[in-house]
């Protein structure tokens, strides 16, 4: 293990607070990954994290490895996202603990929470960083992915949200973090101007922004029915189905599956684009993807310029054969 490259960060690690997120009692994989990324950067220095709401299945410390403490407010009132209560608890812990940096995985929750917290704490906000900040700097793609900007916090305090990565880290040490119970302020519910009444789950598939494998379709799929093949393909990997903007505008798939500028940015380890030509707006949403596979009948489609592997052909004809071949290979493993 090299021990001097991250010396400066290592010293600052005790002043960084990670926000771990649960939804419906499940610790989010993006949060787990953020914790492990920090473990890597901090090289054994103890981390601090805060987790709001109960985690049902497994003790959270068993899902996280490496030394540190988790301030866990295991209270039923926090099972659902409560903007005011979440802000208050995280804000107070940050202030009282003397932290200088608050880290989130980039999720629907952190996008709602981080901007308001930055005002409350007077902190610089570095959103959607492509990786953990190093020496206070973080990078993000701008202008539909045409350029990369370097952002630097100019306040003593910073809030950082980190985009998911296509490379998931494996836990490295035997240590398990300690859980410290965190009290929830009483009577926080009077005069609550916004409240989550209900969480509606989409059944079945993994979310396109969180999946390790994404299979997406574009206009070339021909119809809503054409996506049955993609669902089968995605299910081979336990992955998610995604869609191009055209497909969503046609009403073939819901907006929650849209990838690209007016949809989601994704970072799967494997991305398979079927019948997607690859407009700039689409490509801006897949710049974080690992291996890109493209199937399109137009050999000049821009998607091939960003693909690792390609096949020129009509998706309606080649996909069934592709699915059948994949099944054979998967059986061999």
Determine the interface stretch with another protein among 12-20, 65-73, 172-180, 277-285 (rule: CB under 8 A). 277-285
Q: Which residue has the tokens 């989550």?
A: 196
Question: Maximum Cα–Cα distance for the chain, whole Å?
Answer: 63
140/234 Cα distance (integer angstroms): 29
Minimum CB separation of residue 170 from another protein in Å reads: 14
Minimum CB separation of residue 259 from another protein in Å reads: 12
| Strand-pair category, 124-129 with 22-23 | unpaired
- Among positions 228-257, residues that touch another protein (CB under 8 A) are 237, 255-256
Nearer to another protein, 32 or 114 (CB): 114
Burial of 67 (0-12, 13-18, 19+ CB in 10 A): middle
- Among positions 176-235, residues that touch another protein (CB under 8 A) are 193-202, 206-207, 209-210
Of 267, 299, 292, 17, nearest in space to 166 by CA:
267
Assess 77 for contact with another protein (CB under 8 A). Answer: no
The HSE-up count of residue 165 (CA atoms within 13 Å, CB side) is: 17
Q: Which of 86, 99, 227, 304 binds another protein (CB under 8 A)?
A: 304
274/254 Cα distance (integer angstroms): 17
Q: Which of 149, 178, 224, 228 binds another protein (CB under 8 A)?
A: 149
Determine the interface stretch with another protein among 2-10, 32-40, 63-71, 291-299 (rule: CB under 8 A). 291-299
Could you tell me how many residues of this chain bind another protein (CB under 8 A)? Answer: 93
CA angle, 116 as apex, 102 and 288 as ends, to 5°? 60
- Among positions 151-180, residues that touch another protein (CB under 8 A) are 151-155
Nearer to another protein, 66 or 268 (CB): 268
Assess 109 for contact with another protein (CB under 8 A). Answer: yes
The residues pairing with 20 across neighbouring beta strands, listed in sequence order, are 51
């Amino acid at each position: 293990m090299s021990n001097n490259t991250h010396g400066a960060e290592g010293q600052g690690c005790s002043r960084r607070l990670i926000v771990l997120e649960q939804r419906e009692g499940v610790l989010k994989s993006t949060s787990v990954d953020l914790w492990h990324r920090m473990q890597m950067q901090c090289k054994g220095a103890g981390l601090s994290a805060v987790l709001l709401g109960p985690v049902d299945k497994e003790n959270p410390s068993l899902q996280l490895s490496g030394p540190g403490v988790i301030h866990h407010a295991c209270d039923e009132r926090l099972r659902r996202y409560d903007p005011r209560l979440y802000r208050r608890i995280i804000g107070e812990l940050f202030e009282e603990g003397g932290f200088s940096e608050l880290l989130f995985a980039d999720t629907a929750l952190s996008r709602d929470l981080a901007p308001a917290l930055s005002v409350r704490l007077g902190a610089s906000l570095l959103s959607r960083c492509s990786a953990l900040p190093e020496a206070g700097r973080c990078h993000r793609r701008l202008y539909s992915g045409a350029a990369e900007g370097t952002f630097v916090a100019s306040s003593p305090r910073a809030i950082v949200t980190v985009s998911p990565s296509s490379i998931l880290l494996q836990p490295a040490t035997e240590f398990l973090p300690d859980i410290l119970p965190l009290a929830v302020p009483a009577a926080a519910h009077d005069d609550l101007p916004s409240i989550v009444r209900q969480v509606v789950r989409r059944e079945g598939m993994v979310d396109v922004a969180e999946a390790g494998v994404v299979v997406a379709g574009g206009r070339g799929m021909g119809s809503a029915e054409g996506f049955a093949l993609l669902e089968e393909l995605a299910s081979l990997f336990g992955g998610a189905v995604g869609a191009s903007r055209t497909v969503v505008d046609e009403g073939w798939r819901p907006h929650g599956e849209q990838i690209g500028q007016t949809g989601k940015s994704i970072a799967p380890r494997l991305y398979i684009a079927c019948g997607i030509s690859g407009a700039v707006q689409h490509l801006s949403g897949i710049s974080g993807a690992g291996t890109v596979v493209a199937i399109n009948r137009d050999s000049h489609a821009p998607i091939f310029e960003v693909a690792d592997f390609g096949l020129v052909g009509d998706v309606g004809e080649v996909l069934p054969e592709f699915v059948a071949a994949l099944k054979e290979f998967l059986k061999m493993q």
